[in-house]
Each structure stands twice: as structure tokens, then as C-alpha cells.
Amino acid sequence: MRSIIERFRTHRLASVFVLLATLSTAIVAGSFAAHGVRGQEKQNDSSDATPLKVVSSTVPPNEFVKIAKLVEPAVVNINTQTFPKQSANKNHHFHGRMIQPNPQSPDGGGDEEDQQQGQDNFQDFFNRFFGGQMPDQGGGDQGGGVQESLGSGFIVDPKGYIITNNHVVEKADKIYVKLSTDPDTQDLGRPARVIGTDKATDLAVIKIDTNTPLPTVKLGNSDLVQVGDWVEAIGSPFDLSQTVTAGIISAKNRTIQPGASGQFQHFIQTDAAINPGNSGGPLLNMNGDVIGVNTAIYTQSAGYQGIGFAMPSNTVASVYNDLISPAHKVVRGSIGIQFREGLSGAVNRIYGFKNGVLVNQVTPGGPAEKAGLKAGDIITTIDGRTVKDGDDLVNEIASRRPGSTARLGYMRDGKPAETSVTIGDRDKVFANLDAQQSSAAPEDQGDAGEAKLGIVVREASPAVASKLHAPAVIIQSVRTGSFADLQGLQPGLAITRINKQPTGTKEQYDAVVGKLKTGDDVVFEVMDPHRPGDGINYIGGTLQ
């Protein structure tokens, strides 16, 4: 038995050696065949190869092709320049933010309490992402040179009126527009001027001068779009003008910023590819009508990840008509109240209501106070129509003209009541409130930093102060749209001095901030406790 197994093994090994020898012979033979016996290459013979020819078959254009050809002439590239200013903040942070729910008001104003809890993937798009300065580019904070940014827009009037995003042009000193027909050799484009802007919806209208009528687009009815509809986006991502992408409507009525800052921003969500530079460009339906203005994206990489947001065209049309009016501003109604969204079922049960708005605060001297409303009242109807929630009340009040009246039904201590309220101008109502807060003594303000600067601070722990080699206060929260927010301050940073005055304790901080008034230059000396080796960062601006 053993001899049989040994003979089998010997036979198998011999077979393997024969196979290897055969392969080696074939490889050597192939080498000699390619290089000749003496190792020299032979001339390759390709006389039997057939040359390729381009087939001239035509593919019928699909709807995307037709729309692109129709709309592209009216889509423009927008370039802006911002010159360095002595008090301007030259450090542009590129971070995400998460904002917790906060008191809301029908006009979006008042004392907000947006709390920043770390970072999520919603980029800060307002002059920091789409149309804004990318990190370490365009001058940045190293050289202090001119900052250039990029965006898109589209022509809606042959006389040269263009719709884009407010954050594309908000801080620009010079604006240039390049048409699809302008030569590439032309530097930045044609000079443009701002007609009007609206921060609440992040929309702007600009104009270029022209001697001939320009191509335009049509605005469609965004209320008619449905989830799943095909859409097409055109813009200038990464300075690649006339870039066309396609996708579908993913969702409607998206609000990506909670609280007052998002009250008038109810977006169309799409998976059409949108990237930096697309901001302000059109989102189109399959009729070639604009149904949205591309404004923001959700991203983990500062690029496209399939979730984009466009301001609906019905909102755009309303804002545009206000911005081209003699006032060049959007006038929204207000009754001067604040309220909280997302109240628990327990609150509803205790206060005895299913629908309506629980008033959290009444603006002193505002329309609601004059009408007799108080904190704790539950607004249930407006002119006899049931109020569903805060958004419903916001939209209804904001759409009404100042000076008009409305009949409000409300509950107080479980009893129904009615009152007539005169709608006020949102900007004026809360401008008066801000003036009252600014003129109040620091001890009456609760927190001077929160009222004037928009930040809440606490004293740094001894361990953190030791790392910084200086006492400091730590920023706990930054209110969206506040002075501190516009300067780029963020939670977690340490403030060691303001205007050269030490702020190592809360008392020192309150004393310095309490003396600040509108028109003052404010310079923060800031350090990052996680990177103390980076040293002091000087951030400043003029208090408005």
C-alpha cells in the first residue's frame, strides 16, 4: 500500500515539473519570438488592423438638454470683491453648527436664545460656504488682501435685474456679473449694484446696465411641485460656469435652522448636485421654469452629498417684488410676541389646548401689549380662522401690512377672549425693543454680553486658565445673527481681553461690555483652549 502511495506522489511531482518546464519553454520561446534570436526587436506588423471611424448617428435630445439650452443664456456667474477693513474680522471659520429650538416671534425678531451644541453637518452658508471665503484662499487672514468669492444668479428682467442669494453679495465692496455670452478673456465681468436684500430669506436683487434686452427665465409655481418630480440645476460650482446637474425633489417645506432665524426659510430639498458656487442659481422644473433658488447643502465634506436646499419660487417672487419697490425692502407684519415651538403634550394638557400658540413673552410697547395680550395667553384664532401652530401664525401675521388690524381669539386661565390688534412693522417693533435693551443698565439686562453681543459666557476653570497662561471667560453660546456671530466667535473659545481690558472674571467681563454702545469698535482677544499654542487671535468689528 505504501509503495502505491509513494509511486502516486512521485508521478504527481513529475507531472508538476513537466508543466513548469513546458511553461518556461513557452515563455522563453515567446521572448525570442518578440525580440529575435539575437535579442533585437522585430518591426510590428499592423497591416491587418482596421481604422476606427466615428459613427454619425444622432440621439434625440431629452428634456434636460432642451431646458439647458433654453435657460443657460439667462444664468450668470457672480464674482465679488471685499476689501480689507481695519476693524473687520479676517478669520473666516468654516464650521458646522447645530442650533436648539428657541423662542420664536411672528416677525422673527426679538431676544433669541439659539444654543450651539457642538458641530453638525449643516454648514454656515451665509458668506462662509457657497458665496463665501473658503479657508486659506483669496487673501484670507495671512496677507490681509482683497477677498474674492463666487456665486450664481439668473436674469428675470431684460433690463438687467438678477436674483441671487443675499450671502453671495452681502459683504461685497464690488460685484461683477458675467453672462454666458461674455468672452472668457473678460476679467471679472460687468459691474453690478445691489437693488435690495432680505436676510430673512437670504435673497438679493442686483442689476447690471445693458443697452440691449437680456435673456430671462420664468418663475414657476413652487406650490405645485411634488416629491419625486425631476429638476435641473444650473450654476457655477468651483468657478465652472454653466454647469448643469439633475435630480429629483426629495422633500418640501424643510426648515434647517430652528428658531427665529429659520422662520421664513422653508426650503425645497433636492438631490440635484449643488456645490460651492452654485448658490443663487436656479432650480428648474421640466418646463424650464424656476421653482427655487439654490441656497444651501447638507455636507460632511464641504461638497455635494445628495442633500441640497432651494428657496421656493413663490417666496422668491414675493420678496423680489418688495425689493424692487421704492422702499427696496421687505416689509413684514408683527404683533410683538415670542413663543416656543415643540411644546410637550404635558404643557398642552395642563394649559388646556390642542392647537394654537402659547405666548412666551410680549414686547413692551408693542402691538400685542397694546391689545392687552400677556405672557401665558394662548392665541387660538385670527379673524375667526383656527391657528394651527407657530408657523401658521408667523406666516399669517408676516404677510399683513403694517397698520392693518386683525381679530385675535385667545385663552387666558382657561377662558376664551378676543381682542383687536394693529399689525406693526417687524423691523420697527424690534428695533424699539433693541433700543430699550441697549439703554438699560447692565444690572437690569441680566447678561450684558447676551443683550449687546449675543453671547453667554462663564469663567474658565483653573485648569483651562493654566493652559492659556491667562484668566479668561469661555463662550457657552452664540446667538445666530448677533454681533458676535457675525464676527465669527464660537462656543468653546476663550476671551481674555476686550478692547485691551482684562476679562478674566465674569465681573470684569460684564463691566467692560456694559460700557459698550452702538458705534463703538469692539476687539476681542481670543484663544482656543484646545490649541493654546496658536496664541492670541484678534477679532473685531464695529457694534451696530
Average pLDDT for residues 351-359, to the nearest whole number?
79
Asked if residue 92 belongs to a domain, the reply is no
Mark whether 132 and 31 lie in a shared domain: no
Average pLDDT value for the chain: 78
Q: CATH code at 258?
A: 2.40.10.120
Least confident of 205-209, 227-231, 300-304: 300-304
Question: Does residue 308 or residue 264 have the better pLDDT?
Answer: 308
Q: CATH code at 475?
A: 2.30.42.10
Distances (CA, A) of 217 to 152, 284, 357: 14, 10, 40
User: End-to-end CA distance of the chain, in Å?
Assistant: 102
Round to whole Å and give the CA distance between 339 and 361: 7
Asked if residue 47 belongs to a domain, the reply is no
pLDDT recorded at residue 397: 92
> Domain end: 310, 330, 350, which one?
330
Average pLDDT for residues 203-229, to the nearest whole number?
95
Question: Does residue 427 or residue 199 have the better pLDDT?
Answer: 199
Mark whether 531 and 467 lie in a shared domain: yes
Mark whether 389 and 492 lie in a shared domain: no
Question: Does residue 539 or residue 218 have the better pLDDT?
Answer: 218
Assess contact for 529 and 494: CB atoms under 8 A.
yes
Asked if residue 206 belongs to a domain, the reply is yes
Question: Does residue 272 or residue 263 have the better pLDDT?
Answer: 272
Burial class of 389 by CB neighbour count within 10 A (0 to 12, 13 to 18, 19+): middle
SS3 call for 483:
helix
pLDDT recorded at residue 40: 55
Domain that holds residue 213: 60-84+128-330
Q: What is the pLDDT of residues 370-396, one digit of tens each?
A: 999 988 888 999 999 998 888 888 889
Composition of the chain by helix, strand, coil, percent to 5: 25, 30, 45
Asked if residue 106 belongs to a domain, the reply is no
Q: What is the pLDDT of residues 235-262, one digit of tens each?
A: 888 878 888 999 999 999 888 776 666 7
Mark whether 421 and 367 lie in a shared domain: yes
Confidence class of residue 407 from pLDDT cuts 50, 70 and 90?
very high
Round to whole Å and give the CA distance between 248 and 280: 18
pLDDT recorded at residue 353: 72
pLDDT tops 90 at residue 321? yes
Nearest CA among 28, 31, 47 for reference residue 39:
31
Asked if residue 29 belongs to a domain, the reply is yes
pLDDT tops 90 at residue 316? yes
pLDDT tops 80 at residue 504? yes
Amino acid residing at 60: P
Round to whole Å and give the CA distance between 470 and 325: 53
Asked if residue 119 belongs to a domain, the reply is no
Round to whole Å and give the CA distance between 463 and 117: 22
Half-sphere exposure of 261 (CA within 13 A, CB side): 21
Least confident of 70-79, 114-123, 154-163, 287-296: 114-123
Across 146-258, where does the E strand assignment appear?
147-157, 161-165, 174-178, 190-198, 203-208, 230-235, 243-254
Task: Return the DSSP state at 238.
Answer: G
Round to whole Å and give the CA distance between 167 and 295: 9
Mark whether 341 and 306 lie in a shared domain: no
Half-sphere exposure of 3 (CA within 13 A, CB side): 0
Nearest CA among 97, 161, 93 for reference residue 132:
93
Distances (CA, A) of 3 to 6, 8, 9, 10, 11: 5, 9, 10, 10, 12
Mark whether 456 and 490 lie in a shared domain: yes
Mark whether 202 and 348 lie in a shared domain: no
pLDDT recorded at residue 414: 84
pLDDT tops 90 at residue 60? no
For residue 94, the surrounding DSSP H or E stretch is none
pTM above 0.85, yes or no: no
pLDDT tops 60 at residue 434? no
Average pLDDT for residues 206-210, to the nearest whole number?
95
Burial class of 280 by CB neighbour count within 10 A (0 to 12, 13 to 18, 19+): buried
CA 146 to chain centre: 23
Mark whether 475 and 326 lie in a shared domain: no
SS3 call for 19:
helix
Round to whole Å and give the CA distance between 133 and 148: 7
CA 38 to chain centre: 71
pLDDT tops 80 at residue 34? no
Task: Return the DSSP state at 99.
Answer: B
Round to whole Å and give the CA distance between 504 and 498: 10
Place of cell 455670452: 181
Average pLDDT for residues 399-418, to the nearest whole number?
91
Asked if residue 514 belongs to a domain, the reply is yes
Assess contact for 397 and 334: CB atoms under 8 A.
yes
Least confident of 6-20, 157-171, 273-287, 300-314: 6-20
The DSSP bridge partners found for residue 306 are none
Mark whether 6 and 20 lie in a shared domain: yes
Question: Does residue 428 or residue 7 have the better pLDDT?
Answer: 428
Asked if residue 117 belongs to a domain, the reply is no
Mark whether 473 and 337 lie in a shared domain: no
Average pLDDT for residues 215-234, to the nearest whole number?
95
Mark whether 207 and 151 lie in a shared domain: yes
> Domain end: 309, 330, 351, which one?
330
pLDDT recorded at residue 85: 59
For the chain, how many structural domains are there in total?
Answer: 4
Active site positions, annotated: 167, 202, 279
> Domain end: 330, 346, 375, which one?
330
Average pLDDT for residues 207-233, to the nearest whole number?
95
Mark whether 291 and 381 lie in a shared domain: no
The CA angle 164-308-136, to the nearest 5 degrees, is: 70
SS3 call for 527:
strand
Q: For every residue of 23-89, which 3-state class applies, written as one string? A: HHHHHHHHHHHHHCCCCCCCCCCCCCCCCCCCCCCCCCCCHHHHHHHHHHHHEEEEEEEECCCCCCC
Q: For every residue of 319-340, which 3-state class applies, written as one string? A: HHHHHCCCCCCCCCEECCEEEC
Q: What is the pLDDT of residues 90-137, one digit of tens each?
A: 333 322 222 233 333 344 433 333 333 333 333 333 333 333 333 333
How much of the chain exceeds pLDDT 70, in percent? Answer: 74
